[in-house]
Amino acid sequence: MTDHFIEDKTTKVNVNLDNIGERVDFNDLKSGGFIKQRQKDLFAVRLRCPGGRMETKKLVEISKIADKYSKKGVVHFSFRQSLEILYVDYKEFRNIVAELEKIGQKVASCGPRVRVPTACGGCEYNPNGLTDTQGMAGMVDQKFFGTPTPHKFKTSFSGCPIDCARTKEMDFGFQGIVEPVWEDPLCTGCTICSEACKEDAIVSDPDTGKPIFDPKKCIFCGDCIRACPTEAWKPKRYGHIVRIGGKHGRHPMEALEVCTFLPDDKVAEAIEKTVEWYNANGKRGERIGNTIKRVGVQKYLDFMEPVFKHGSPVNYLAPGV
Amino acid sequence: MTEIKSNAQLDLRGVMCPINFVKTKLKLETLEAGEVLELVLDSGEPIQNVPKSIKEEGHKILEVKKEGDHFRLKVQKG
Protein backbone atom coordinates (compact mmCIF):
# COMPACT_ATOMS: atom_id res chain seq x y z
CA MET A 1 0.00 0.00 0.00
CA THR A 2 1.36 3.37 -0.91
CA ASP A 3 0.05 6.24 1.10
CA HIS A 4 0.18 9.51 -0.72
CA PHE A 5 -0.77 11.54 2.32
CA ILE A 6 2.62 11.18 3.84
CA GLU A 7 4.31 14.48 3.22
CA ASP A 8 7.89 14.16 2.14
CA LYS A 9 9.71 17.42 2.63
CA THR A 10 13.05 16.30 1.25
CA THR A 11 12.22 14.36 -1.88
CA LYS A 12 8.89 13.49 -3.43
CA VAL A 13 9.28 9.78 -2.84
CA ASN A 14 6.27 7.94 -1.52
CA VAL A 15 6.73 5.56 1.33
CA ASN A 16 5.92 1.98 0.65
CA LEU A 17 4.18 0.39 3.60
CA ASP A 18 3.65 -3.07 2.11
CA ASN A 19 6.67 -4.54 3.81
CA ILE A 20 5.75 -3.53 7.33
CA GLY A 21 4.06 -6.87 7.83
CA GLU A 22 0.95 -5.48 9.47
CA ARG A 23 -1.56 -3.42 7.56
CA VAL A 24 -1.48 0.21 8.49
CA ASP A 25 -4.95 1.67 8.77
CA PHE A 26 -4.58 5.03 7.13
CA ASN A 27 -8.28 5.81 7.25
CA ASP A 28 -7.67 7.39 10.61
CA LEU A 29 -4.69 9.26 9.28
CA LYS A 30 -6.20 10.53 6.10
CA SER A 31 -5.13 14.05 6.78
CA GLY A 32 -1.46 13.18 7.12
CA GLY A 33 0.63 14.62 9.89
CA PHE A 34 3.72 12.50 9.18
CA ILE A 35 6.62 14.58 7.98
CA LYS A 36 9.70 12.97 6.51
CA GLN A 37 12.95 13.79 8.24
CA ARG A 38 16.42 13.96 6.71
CA GLN A 39 17.23 10.69 8.43
CA LYS A 40 16.36 7.45 6.68
CA ASP A 41 13.02 5.91 7.79
CA LEU A 42 12.40 8.60 10.39
CA PHE A 43 9.46 10.94 10.52
CA ALA A 44 8.15 13.75 12.69
CA VAL A 45 4.65 12.96 13.93
CA ARG A 46 2.65 16.15 14.23
CA LEU A 47 -0.14 16.12 16.80
CA ARG A 48 -3.42 17.92 16.47
CA CYS A 49 -3.50 20.66 19.14
CA PRO A 50 -6.06 23.34 18.18
CA GLY A 51 -5.20 26.68 19.74
CA GLY A 52 -2.12 25.11 21.34
CA ARG A 53 -4.10 24.19 24.42
CA MET A 54 -3.81 20.84 26.16
CA GLU A 55 -4.92 19.27 29.38
CA THR A 56 -2.00 18.61 31.69
CA LYS A 57 -2.98 14.97 32.18
CA LYS A 58 -2.92 14.39 28.43
CA LEU A 59 0.44 16.16 28.16
CA VAL A 60 1.91 13.73 30.70
CA GLU A 61 0.61 10.75 28.70
CA ILE A 62 1.89 12.20 25.41
CA SER A 63 5.27 12.73 26.97
CA LYS A 64 5.41 9.03 27.89
CA ILE A 65 4.49 8.04 24.31
CA ALA A 66 7.03 10.49 22.87
CA ASP A 67 9.69 9.07 25.14
CA LYS A 68 8.89 5.58 23.92
CA TYR A 69 8.80 6.27 20.17
CA SER A 70 11.19 9.17 19.58
CA LYS A 71 14.58 7.61 18.82
CA LYS A 72 16.22 10.74 20.16
CA GLY A 73 13.78 11.50 22.97
CA VAL A 74 12.81 14.94 21.66
CA VAL A 75 9.71 16.87 20.68
CA HIS A 76 9.35 20.19 18.89
CA PHE A 77 6.71 22.86 19.51
CA SER A 78 5.67 23.71 15.96
CA PHE A 79 5.10 27.27 14.76
CA ARG A 80 1.41 26.46 14.65
CA GLN A 81 1.22 25.40 18.28
CA SER A 82 1.16 21.66 17.69
CA LEU A 83 3.50 19.26 19.35
CA GLU A 84 5.69 17.22 16.99
CA ILE A 85 7.25 13.95 18.13
CA LEU A 86 10.56 13.71 16.28
CA TYR A 87 12.61 10.71 15.11
CA VAL A 88 9.73 8.21 14.85
CA ASP A 89 10.40 5.14 12.70
CA TYR A 90 7.65 4.73 10.07
CA LYS A 91 7.35 1.06 10.98
CA GLU A 92 5.98 2.22 14.32
CA PHE A 93 3.22 4.44 12.87
CA ARG A 94 0.48 1.97 13.62
CA ASN A 95 1.58 1.55 17.23
CA ILE A 96 2.13 5.22 18.02
CA VAL A 97 -1.21 6.19 16.47
CA ALA A 98 -2.97 3.47 18.47
CA GLU A 99 -1.36 4.63 21.71
CA LEU A 100 -2.18 8.26 21.00
CA GLU A 101 -5.73 7.27 20.10
CA LYS A 102 -6.11 5.57 23.48
CA ILE A 103 -5.55 8.88 25.28
CA GLY A 104 -7.75 10.79 22.83
CA GLN A 105 -4.92 12.47 20.94
CA LYS A 106 -5.23 12.77 17.17
CA VAL A 107 -2.50 13.27 14.60
CA ALA A 108 -2.56 16.59 12.70
CA SER A 109 -2.60 17.50 9.02
CA CYS A 110 -0.25 18.36 6.20
CA GLY A 111 -0.79 19.28 2.57
CA PRO A 112 -3.61 21.03 0.74
CA ARG A 113 -6.37 21.12 3.29
CA VAL A 114 -7.82 23.08 6.21
CA ARG A 115 -5.12 23.01 8.88
CA VAL A 116 -5.44 22.92 12.66
CA PRO A 117 -6.45 26.44 13.79
CA THR A 118 -4.13 28.48 15.98
CA ALA A 119 -5.30 30.86 18.69
CA CYS A 120 -4.15 33.08 21.53
CA GLY A 121 -5.45 32.62 25.09
CA GLY A 122 -8.54 34.71 24.36
CA CYS A 123 -11.10 36.16 26.73
CA GLU A 124 -11.10 33.19 29.11
CA TYR A 125 -8.04 34.37 31.00
CA ASN A 126 -6.22 37.08 29.05
CA PRO A 127 -7.28 40.52 30.33
CA ASN A 128 -7.04 41.99 26.80
CA GLY A 129 -9.09 39.17 25.26
CA LEU A 130 -12.40 40.12 23.66
CA THR A 131 -13.43 36.84 22.03
CA ASP A 132 -13.36 33.17 23.02
CA THR A 133 -10.54 32.30 20.63
CA GLN A 134 -9.96 28.87 22.17
CA GLY A 135 -13.62 27.94 21.84
CA MET A 136 -13.57 29.14 18.24
CA ALA A 137 -10.41 27.20 17.40
CA GLY A 138 -11.92 24.04 18.88
CA MET A 139 -15.12 24.51 16.92
CA VAL A 140 -13.31 25.11 13.61
CA ASP A 141 -11.07 22.09 14.24
CA GLN A 142 -14.11 19.89 14.86
CA LYS A 143 -16.03 21.11 11.83
CA PHE A 144 -13.39 21.69 9.16
CA PHE A 145 -10.23 19.77 10.02
CA GLY A 146 -8.77 18.11 6.94
CA THR A 147 -11.27 19.56 4.45
CA PRO A 148 -9.49 19.46 1.05
CA THR A 149 -8.60 22.82 -0.55
CA PRO A 150 -6.44 23.81 -3.57
CA HIS A 151 -3.48 24.56 -1.29
CA LYS A 152 -2.95 24.74 2.48
CA PHE A 153 -5.59 26.78 4.30
CA LYS A 154 -4.49 28.24 7.62
CA THR A 155 -6.89 29.85 10.06
CA SER A 156 -6.22 31.64 13.33
CA PHE A 157 -8.00 33.50 16.09
CA SER A 158 -6.67 36.53 17.96
CA GLY A 159 -8.66 37.86 20.89
CA CYS A 160 -7.72 41.52 20.49
CA PRO A 161 -6.00 44.00 18.14
CA ILE A 162 -2.55 43.10 19.51
CA ASP A 163 -3.08 40.10 17.21
CA CYS A 164 -0.67 37.60 18.76
CA ALA A 165 -2.15 34.87 16.53
CA ARG A 166 -1.11 36.93 13.48
CA THR A 167 -4.41 36.97 11.65
CA LYS A 168 -2.84 39.34 9.12
CA GLU A 169 -0.65 36.47 7.88
CA MET A 170 -3.35 33.80 7.66
CA ASP A 171 -5.32 32.49 4.72
CA PHE A 172 -8.36 33.26 6.86
CA GLY A 173 -8.02 35.05 10.20
CA PHE A 174 -10.40 36.32 12.88
CA GLN A 175 -9.43 39.05 15.33
CA GLY A 176 -11.59 40.07 18.27
CA ILE A 177 -12.93 43.61 18.56
CA VAL A 178 -15.39 45.51 20.73
CA GLU A 179 -17.41 48.60 19.87
CA PRO A 180 -17.29 51.23 22.63
CA VAL A 181 -20.21 53.50 23.49
CA TRP A 182 -20.11 56.40 25.91
CA GLU A 183 -22.86 57.71 28.18
CA ASP A 184 -22.49 61.26 29.34
CA PRO A 185 -24.49 61.07 32.62
CA LEU A 186 -22.14 58.41 34.04
CA CYS A 187 -18.94 60.27 33.10
CA THR A 188 -17.12 62.19 35.83
CA GLY A 189 -14.55 63.71 33.46
CA CYS A 190 -11.69 61.88 35.18
CA THR A 191 -9.67 61.69 31.89
CA ILE A 192 -8.45 58.11 32.47
CA CYS A 193 -9.89 56.98 29.11
CA SER A 194 -7.80 59.49 27.19
CA GLU A 195 -4.72 58.23 29.05
CA ALA A 196 -5.70 54.60 28.44
CA CYS A 197 -6.27 55.03 24.70
CA LYS A 198 -3.03 54.17 22.94
CA GLU A 199 -4.40 55.23 19.55
CA ASP A 200 -5.06 58.90 20.43
CA ALA A 201 -8.69 58.29 19.52
CA ILE A 202 -9.76 59.94 22.79
CA VAL A 203 -8.62 63.32 24.04
CA SER A 204 -10.09 64.99 27.10
CA ASP A 205 -11.94 68.26 26.90
CA PRO A 206 -9.65 70.78 28.65
CA ASP A 207 -12.59 72.25 30.61
CA THR A 208 -14.80 69.30 31.50
CA GLY A 209 -12.33 66.40 31.21
CA LYS A 210 -14.92 64.52 29.18
CA PRO A 211 -13.84 62.52 26.13
CA ILE A 212 -13.66 63.88 22.60
CA PHE A 213 -13.71 60.77 20.42
CA ASP A 214 -12.19 60.40 16.95
CA PRO A 215 -13.82 57.27 15.48
CA LYS A 216 -11.35 57.18 12.56
CA LYS A 217 -8.54 56.37 14.99
CA CYS A 218 -10.41 53.76 17.07
CA ILE A 219 -9.25 50.19 16.50
CA PHE A 220 -11.89 48.66 18.85
CA CYS A 221 -9.47 47.35 21.48
CA GLY A 222 -11.68 48.20 24.47
CA ASP A 223 -8.96 49.83 26.57
CA CYS A 224 -11.30 52.77 27.28
CA ILE A 225 -14.02 50.39 28.49
CA ARG A 226 -11.69 48.53 30.82
CA ALA A 227 -10.10 51.69 32.18
CA CYS A 228 -13.29 53.67 32.81
CA PRO A 229 -14.00 53.74 36.57
CA THR A 230 -17.70 54.57 36.22
CA GLU A 231 -18.85 52.38 33.30
CA ALA A 232 -19.50 55.50 31.19
CA TRP A 233 -17.67 53.65 28.40
CA LYS A 234 -19.47 50.38 27.75
CA PRO A 235 -19.24 47.53 25.25
CA LYS A 236 -21.97 47.81 22.63
CA ARG A 237 -21.12 44.60 20.75
CA TYR A 238 -18.28 42.14 20.27
CA GLY A 239 -17.21 40.48 17.05
CA HIS A 240 -14.38 39.63 14.70
CA ILE A 241 -12.43 41.50 12.07
CA VAL A 242 -12.23 38.97 9.24
CA ARG A 243 -9.03 38.87 7.20
CA ILE A 244 -8.34 36.86 4.05
CA GLY A 245 -5.42 35.99 1.82
CA GLY A 246 -2.48 36.48 4.14
CA LYS A 247 0.54 34.20 4.16
CA HIS A 248 4.13 34.09 5.24
CA GLY A 249 6.72 31.90 3.55
CA ARG A 250 9.04 32.99 0.75
CA HIS A 251 6.71 35.66 -0.53
CA PRO A 252 4.67 37.01 2.37
CA MET A 253 1.35 38.72 1.76
CA GLU A 254 -0.68 40.79 4.17
CA ALA A 255 -4.29 39.73 4.48
CA LEU A 256 -7.16 41.93 3.32
CA GLU A 257 -9.86 42.99 5.77
CA VAL A 258 -13.19 41.86 4.39
CA CYS A 259 -15.62 42.27 7.29
CA THR A 260 -15.79 43.76 10.79
CA PHE A 261 -17.91 42.78 13.78
CA LEU A 262 -18.78 39.39 12.39
CA PRO A 263 -20.58 37.69 15.29
CA ASP A 264 -19.31 34.41 16.78
CA ASP A 265 -22.22 32.41 15.42
CA LYS A 266 -21.39 33.36 11.80
CA VAL A 267 -17.75 32.26 11.91
CA ALA A 268 -18.43 28.66 10.88
CA GLU A 269 -20.58 29.81 7.97
CA ALA A 270 -17.87 32.25 6.86
CA ILE A 271 -15.29 29.46 6.77
CA GLU A 272 -17.62 27.02 5.04
CA LYS A 273 -18.52 29.49 2.30
CA THR A 274 -14.94 30.70 1.86
CA VAL A 275 -13.70 27.12 1.46
CA GLU A 276 -16.49 26.57 -1.08
CA TRP A 277 -15.41 29.69 -3.02
CA TYR A 278 -11.74 28.71 -2.82
CA ASN A 279 -12.45 25.20 -4.11
CA ALA A 280 -14.50 26.62 -7.00
CA ASN A 281 -12.03 29.37 -7.97
CA GLY A 282 -8.57 28.37 -6.76
CA LYS A 283 -6.05 26.60 -8.94
CA ARG A 284 -4.25 23.59 -7.55
CA GLY A 285 -1.29 24.78 -5.49
CA GLU A 286 -2.53 28.37 -5.29
CA ARG A 287 -3.05 30.06 -1.91
CA ILE A 288 -6.35 31.87 -1.52
CA GLY A 289 -4.61 35.28 -1.43
CA ASN A 290 -3.35 34.71 -4.96
CA THR A 291 -6.74 33.40 -6.06
CA ILE A 292 -8.29 36.63 -4.82
CA LYS A 293 -5.61 38.69 -6.62
CA ARG A 294 -6.28 36.81 -9.83
CA VAL A 295 -10.09 36.64 -9.67
CA GLY A 296 -10.69 39.95 -7.89
CA VAL A 297 -11.73 40.60 -4.31
CA GLN A 298 -15.13 41.95 -5.37
CA LYS A 299 -16.13 38.54 -6.75
CA TYR A 300 -15.29 37.01 -3.39
CA LEU A 301 -17.15 39.73 -1.47
CA ASP A 302 -20.25 39.27 -3.65
CA PHE A 303 -20.20 35.55 -2.92
CA MET A 304 -19.78 36.16 0.83
CA GLU A 305 -22.46 38.85 1.12
CA PRO A 306 -25.07 36.53 2.72
CA VAL A 307 -22.62 35.91 5.60
CA PHE A 308 -20.76 39.21 5.87
CA LYS A 309 -24.02 41.19 5.96
CA HIS A 310 -24.32 39.99 9.56
CA GLY A 311 -21.20 42.03 10.40
CA SER A 312 -20.26 45.58 9.44
CA PRO A 313 -18.29 46.88 6.45
CA VAL A 314 -14.52 47.30 6.75
CA ASN A 315 -14.78 51.10 6.87
CA TYR A 316 -17.24 51.03 9.80
CA LEU A 317 -16.79 53.84 12.34
CA ALA A 318 -18.06 53.63 15.92
CA PRO A 319 -20.43 56.47 16.80
CA GLY A 320 -18.75 56.47 20.24
CA VAL A 321 -19.59 59.87 21.73
CA MET B 1 -18.85 67.44 46.59
CA THR B 2 -17.80 66.09 49.93
CA GLU B 3 -14.26 64.85 50.34
CA ILE B 4 -13.98 61.06 50.30
CA LYS B 5 -11.99 60.03 53.35
CA SER B 6 -9.23 57.52 52.77
CA ASN B 7 -8.09 54.83 55.22
CA ALA B 8 -4.64 54.39 53.67
CA GLN B 9 -2.34 56.10 51.18
CA LEU B 10 0.17 54.86 48.66
CA ASP B 11 2.41 57.08 46.54
CA LEU B 12 3.43 55.08 43.48
CA ARG B 13 5.22 57.83 41.57
CA GLY B 14 8.29 56.36 39.90
CA VAL B 15 7.17 52.77 40.54
CA MET B 16 7.08 50.67 37.34
CA CYS B 17 4.39 48.28 36.06
CA PRO B 18 3.51 45.75 37.31
CA ILE B 19 5.17 46.44 40.68
CA ASN B 20 2.83 49.40 41.21
CA PHE B 21 -0.18 47.10 40.88
CA VAL B 22 1.36 44.45 43.15
CA LYS B 23 1.95 47.11 45.83
CA THR B 24 -1.64 48.31 45.38
CA LYS B 25 -2.91 44.76 45.79
CA LEU B 26 -0.86 44.15 48.93
CA LYS B 27 -2.04 47.43 50.46
CA LEU B 28 -5.67 46.64 49.66
CA GLU B 29 -5.26 43.28 51.39
CA THR B 30 -4.59 45.10 54.66
CA LEU B 31 -7.90 46.96 54.39
CA GLU B 32 -11.44 45.84 55.18
CA ALA B 33 -14.06 45.68 52.40
CA GLY B 34 -15.53 49.15 51.87
CA GLU B 35 -12.43 50.99 53.12
CA VAL B 36 -10.70 53.44 50.81
CA LEU B 37 -7.12 53.53 49.53
CA GLU B 38 -5.68 56.72 48.09
CA LEU B 39 -3.19 56.11 45.26
CA VAL B 40 -0.88 58.36 43.32
CA LEU B 41 0.04 57.04 39.86
CA ASP B 42 2.22 58.42 37.09
CA SER B 43 0.66 59.17 33.73
CA GLY B 44 1.59 56.89 30.83
CA GLU B 45 1.77 53.15 31.43
CA PRO B 46 0.81 53.20 35.14
CA ILE B 47 -2.44 55.08 34.59
CA GLN B 48 -3.15 52.98 31.46
CA ASN B 49 -2.82 49.69 33.30
CA VAL B 50 -3.34 49.94 37.07
CA PRO B 51 -6.98 51.15 37.06
CA LYS B 52 -7.96 48.32 34.64
CA SER B 53 -6.37 45.74 36.93
CA ILE B 54 -7.98 47.26 40.03
CA LYS B 55 -11.40 46.97 38.36
CA GLU B 56 -10.72 43.41 37.22
CA GLU B 57 -9.98 42.40 40.82
CA GLY B 58 -13.40 43.67 41.85
CA HIS B 59 -12.53 46.96 43.55
CA LYS B 60 -14.22 50.27 42.83
CA ILE B 61 -12.53 53.46 41.69
CA LEU B 62 -14.44 56.24 43.43
CA GLU B 63 -12.51 59.27 42.32
CA VAL B 64 -9.77 60.26 39.88
CA LYS B 65 -8.01 63.61 39.91
CA LYS B 66 -5.35 64.73 37.49
CA GLU B 67 -2.53 66.65 39.19
CA GLY B 68 0.03 67.71 36.59
CA ASP B 69 1.77 64.60 35.30
CA HIS B 70 0.27 62.25 37.86
CA PHE B 71 -3.13 61.06 39.01
CA ARG B 72 -4.67 60.77 42.49
CA LEU B 73 -7.17 57.89 42.76
CA LYS B 74 -9.48 56.77 45.50
CA VAL B 75 -10.11 53.06 45.46
CA GLN B 76 -12.72 51.28 47.53
CA LYS B 77 -11.91 47.71 48.43
CA GLY B 78 -14.45 45.27 46.96
Query: Does A6 score more than 90 pLDDT?
Result: no
Query: What's the CA gap between B9 and A308, in Å, rounded?
Result: 52
Contacts of B39 in chain A (CB under 8 A): none
Strand pairing partners for A173?
Answer: A156, A243
pLDDT at B1: 56
| Closest alpha carbon to A286 in A257, A259, A247, A256 | A247
CB pair distance less than 8 Å for B48 and A195:
yes
A172-182 and A155-158 beta bridge pairing: parallel
Q: Which CATH class is domain A118-179+238-308?
A: alpha beta
Contact at CB, B48 and A191, closer than 8 angstroms: no
The span from the CA of A3 to the CA of A18, in Å, is: 10
Of 3.30.499.10, 3.30.1330.10, 3.40.50.620, 3.30.110.40, which CATH number belongs to B8-76?
Answer: 3.30.110.40
Mean pLDDT score, A26-52: 82
Q: Which helix (H) or strand (E) holds B51?
A: helix B45-56
pLDDT in 10s for each residue of chain B, 78 residues = 578 899 999 999 999 999 999 999 999 999 999 999 999 999 989 998 999 999 999 999 999 999 989 999 999 999
Give the C-alpha separation, A165 to B40, whole Å.
36
A123 strand-pairing partners: none
How many angstroms from the chain centroid is the CA of residue A321? Answer: 33
User: CA nearest B72 in A: which residue?
Assistant: A190
Decide if A196 and B64 are in contact by the 8 Å CB cutoff.
Answer: no
Whole-angstrom Cα distance, residue A29 to residue A31? 5
Catalytic positions of B are 17
Q: Rounded to a whole number, what is the distance in Å from the CA of A224 to chain B's nearest CA? A: 9
* Test mutation, A126, A162, A186, A190, chain B, max B CBs within 10 A: A190
pLDDT tens string A271-300: 999 999 999 999 999 999 999 999 999 999
Q: Which residue from B47, B48, B52 is facing A127, i.e. has the nearest CB?
A: B52
Identify the architecture of domain A2-102 in CATH: Alpha-Beta Complex (3.90)
Tell if the CB–CB gap between A196 and B47 is shorter than 8 Å.
yes
Spell out which residues of chain B touch residue A196, defining contact as CB-CB under 8 Å. 47-48, 51-52
Question: Would the pLDDT of A112 be above 80?
Answer: yes
Contacts of A132 (CB under 8 A, 6+ apart): A122, A123, A124, A159, A264
Query: Could you state, in order of their start, the residue ranges of all structural domains in chain A?
Result: 2-102, 118-179+238-308
Residues 51-70 of chain B whose Cβ lies under 8 A from any Cβ of chain A: 51-53, 55-56, 60-66
Q: Is B21 left (phi over 0), alpha (psi -120 to 50) or beta?
A: alpha
Q: Is the ipTM of this complex over 0.95?
A: no
- A313: contact with B, CB 8 A cutoff: no
Question: Choosing among A126, A204, A226, which should be mutated to test the B contact, i.e. which has the most B CBs within 10 A?
Answer: A226
- Structural domain boundaries in chain B: 8-76
Which among A51, A47, A140 has a CA at the least distance from the CA of A101? A47
Helix, strand or coil for residue A206? Answer: coil
